[in-house]
Structure 1
Amino acid sequence: MKAVIQRVTNAKVILNNEVPVSIGPGICVLVGFHKEDTLKDLEYIVKKILSVKLYADDNDENWEKSVVDKQLEVLIISQYTIYNGWKGNTPDFHKTMGGEKSQELYSKLMEMAREIYNPEKVKDGVFGIYRQLYLENDGSMTFEIDSPQACHELPNENSKSTI
């Protein structure tokens, strides 16, 4: 599983010229699911998203506070293309988890993030439909996090997914 985190002053999702979800200061997180991801990958990513130190403390010491420490908002968006590969110049998505399973994992991710943090501060970027995302970066702060199992190889015959 991968997450791309951007520190933002605001972000919003637009669907059919309407804004179903928006946040003020906080982080916008794009998450991608590998076809072999498990609940352990999910747990790791959720905890990491909420605990990474992206903010200064009250003494202006950088990298001391998390989004939770600062009580800021979190917008999480499923991003199918994060696990793309390439066939020449054409994107290839054979490593990406399919729609139904990734929707299940995304729902669990949202549930877990809301349980760990304030549910009103964790916003759902709307799964699986065409949308526009507008965000204003807070500095040039973009970070990628991979779950420990993110570098999946082809599974052997004995491996089984737990999801």
Structure 2
Amino acid sequence: MRALLQRVDWAEVEVDEKVVGRIEHGLLVYVGVSTTDAPADAEALARKVATLRIFEDSAEKLNLSVQDANGGVLVVPNFTLMAETRKGRRPAFVAAAPAELAKPLQENFVAGLKREGCSVQQGIFGARMTVRSAAAGPVNVIVDYPPLCGASEVRSEK
């Protein structure tokens, strides 16, 4: 699973000209599900998103989670996060899970956030959505779970 987290002052998602989710201060989270993802990945990603410290404390250090900062989470399903762009000029979405796999995992992710104590709003899976937000910082973080191979390796010149 892949999540694009954006710290926001506010965010809302609209379907058919009706606001279906809105938060004041918190995280706008776009979530993509791959063909290899499992329920355990959704749970782990939810824990990571809920506890990732990307909000500033009184010393202006990124030391607070969305919960610590009393923020909300707006989850927007977004299969295009799984785009493959290494070849050609048109993205390929072969790694994106089909709806029958992606929707339950998306629901597991949202349920996991709620179990972690997050206040969650969400878009509608499979719908054409309009998303509006005011980025704060800006702070944007991509979280892959399971982590991409080699993503934690630090390269250094000796």
Residue 53 of structure 1: aligned partner: 53
Gaps of 5+ in 2: 150-158
Q: Residues 31-66 of structure 1, C-alpha deviation per residue, up to 9 Å, x if partnerless?
A: 111100112211221011000111122x32411110
Contact 1:34 1:150 (8 Å CA) reproduced:
no
Question: Does structure 1 residue 106 correspond to structure 2 residue 100?
Answer: no
SS of equivalent to 2:96: coil
Q: Residues 100-126 of structure 1, C-alpha deviation per residue, up to 9 Å, x if partnerless?
A: 1100111111112112214xx211122
Residue 61 of structure 2: aligned partner: 62
CA offset at residue 21 of structure 1? 1.2
Q: Residues 53-104 of structure 1, C-alpha deviation per residue, up to 9 Å, x if partnerless?
A: 11122x3241111001122110011111011114522221111100111001
SS of equivalent to 2:55: coil
Distance in 1, matches of 2:80 and 2:106, equals 15
Contact 1:54 1:63 (8 Å CA) reproduced:
yes
Sort the Cα spacing of 1:70 and 1:102 in 2 relative to 1 into closer, same or farther, 3 A: same
TM-score, normalised to structure 1's length?
A: 0.85
Distance in 2, matches of 1:64 and 1:95, equals 34
Distance in 1, matches of 2:45 and 2:144, equals 7
Contact 1:13 1:133 (8 Å CA) reproduced:
yes
Question: Does structure 1 residue 36 correspond to structure 2 residue 36?
Answer: yes
Contact 1:2 1:150 (8 Å CA) reproduced:
no
Distance in 2, matches of 1:101 and 1:123, equals 21
Q: Where do 1:10-159 residues align within 5 Å?
A: 10-57=10-57, 59-86=58-85, 87-118=87-118, 121-150=119-148
Residue 161 of structure 1: aligned partner: none
TM-score, normalised to structure 2's length?
A: 0.88
Distance in 1, matches of 2:51 and 2:68, equals 8
Alignment: residue pair count: 148
More displaced stretch, 17-26 vs 84-93: 84-93
RMSD over equivalenced CA pairs, Å: 1.4
SS of equivalent to 1:85: coil
Amino acid paired to 1:116? E
SS of equivalent to 1:92: coil
Q: Residues 17-42 of structure 1, C-alpha deviation per residue, up to 9 Å, x if partnerless?
A: 22121111000001111100112211
